[in-house]
Amino acid sequence: HISASSHSKMPLIQRVDPSLLNLENFVSYTDSDAKDFHEQRKVAIMKKYGPKIRKLYGHCWTTKYYVAFVALTQLWISTWVVNQKWWVFLLVAWIFGGTLTHILTLAIHEVTHFLAFKKPLYNWALAYLADLPIPAATCVSFKLYHRDHHNMMGVEDVDTDIATFNEAQLMKGRFQKLIFVLFNSLIYSLRPVFTMPKPLTKELAVNWIVQLAFNAVWIHLFGWKTMLYFGVSLFLGLGLNPLAGHFISEHFVSHPSQDTYSYYGPLNYIAFNVGYHTEHHDFPNIPGSRLPELKRIAPEFYDNRFYYDSWSGVVWNYIMTDGFGLFNRKKVPSNHCTLKMRSVCHSSGVKSKKEE
C-alpha cells in the first residue's frame, strides 16, 4: 500500500468487515442505506456548493489527445511485436499491450459519457478509435449496459455488473477466484449477453461493421498475429493487471455502510481518475480530470468514506481473503422495492409494490 497521509481523515480499507464474510447470498439494501445513495449525496452537495460544482461540468480537452496516443501506440506495437520471439511477444502483450488495452477500455468509459467533446458525434468517433485495438466491437454495447449500471445500480436482473447467483456460488474458493480474475474479460463481456441481451440496433450493427472491416484490413496489411496480440493484450490487461483492481474495488462490499468505494492511488493518473468512483457516480457528467477537484470542494461528503490506495492489493485481498467473493455486492430485487427505498427504485425506473 502507498502512504495514505494525504487522506489521514479517511478510513483506509485494510480488511473486509467480518460480518461480510462467507455470505450465502448477495447483500441486501436496507432502509438505512438511503442516506448513502448517490442521488441523495449529489442533491446535498449541489445545495451547498452548486455554483462551484457546475463549473466542473463539461468535456476535458486533453482527453482526445491521450486516447489517440494510446490507441495509435497499441496499433504500432502490434505491427512490431509480431516479428519478435514468442517470449518477447507475451511479455510485451502483458506489460505494455495489456496496460494500453485496459486504458482504452477506460477511455471508452470516459468518452461514452460524452466527456471528450461537446458534440456526441465526435465522442463516438473517438470511442470507435479506442475500440479498434481491442479488437471486438464494444463501445456501443458498453454504453447501453453502463447506462443501466448508473441508472439502475444494484437492481437485480438489470445491473449486469453484478454476477449471477450461480457465478457467485461457483467462484468461492481461492483457485476459483483466481480463475475469475484471469478470465474477467470474457465473463464481464459475456454475462450481459446471456442475462440481459439487448436488441440488435443500427448503432450496434455499425459498430461491428466498422470493427470487422478494420480487423480485415489490419490482417491483410500486417498478418493475423496482430489480432492474436490484440486478443492476448485484452485477456491479460483485464485479468492479472494492476488496473483490473478497479473491477473489484468499485462496488464489492467490504463494509456494510457502503456500496461504492473510491481508490486514491497513483494509477489514477493513467486511468482517467476512474478510481474516484464514488465521485463519478455522484456526478457522471464531470470528466475524470476534474473529479479530484470535486472531492476538494466537498471534502465533508467524501473524507469519511472507506477507500482503497492499491489496486494490486485489492486483487490480492480478493483472492486470498477466504469468504470474500462475488456475493459481496449489494442488490435489490427488481420487483421488491420498499417505499423507503424510493430513491434507488426511482433512479432505476422500478416501481415499488405500493406504487404498482
- What is the pLDDT averaged over residues 263-288? 97
Handedness of CA 288, 293, 298, 299 (dihedral sign): positive
Looking at residue 13, its pLDDT comes to 78
* Per-residue pLDDT at 139: 96
DSSP 25-73: SPEEP-GGGGGG-HHHHHHHHHHHHHHHHHTT-S--TTHHHHHHHHHHH
Please give the average per-residue pLDDT across 288-304, as a whole number. Answer: 96
Q: How far apart are CA 282 and CA 41, in angstroms?
A: 7
Band of residue 11 on the pLDDT scale cut at 50, 70, 90:
confident
Q: How far apart are CA 173 and CA 325, in angstroms?
A: 8
Cut 0.85: pTM above it: yes
Percent of the chain with pLDDT over 90: 78
- pLDDT at residue 66, as a whole number: 98
Residue 351 has pLDDT above 70, yes or no: no
Judged against a pLDDT cut of 80, whether residue 86 lies above it is answered with yes
Would the pLDDT of 1 be above 60?
A: no
Asked if 126 contacts 64 with a C-beta cutoff of 8 angstroms, the reply is yes
- Mean pLDDT over 222-233 rounds to 97
pLDDT at 342: 38
Does position 350 have pLDDT exceeding 50, yes or no?
Answer: no
46-77 confidence digits (pLDDT tens): 999 999 999 999 999 999 999 999 999 999 99
32: exposed, middle or buried (Cβ count in 10 Å: 0-12, 13-18, 19+): exposed
Q: What does the alpha-carbon distance between residue 338 and residue 330 come to, in Å, rounded to a whole number?
A: 15
CA angle 141, 143, 147 (to 5 degrees): 120
Q: What angle do CA 143, 30, 147 make, to 5 degrees?
A: 5
Q: What is the Cα–Cα distance from 277 to 291, expressed in whole angstroms?
A: 9
- Of 5-14, 61-70, 159-168, 237-246, which range is least confident? 5-14
Instruction: Determine the pLDDT at residue 257.
Output: 81
Single-letter residue type at 37: F
Q: What is the mean pLDDT of residues 147-166?
A: 89
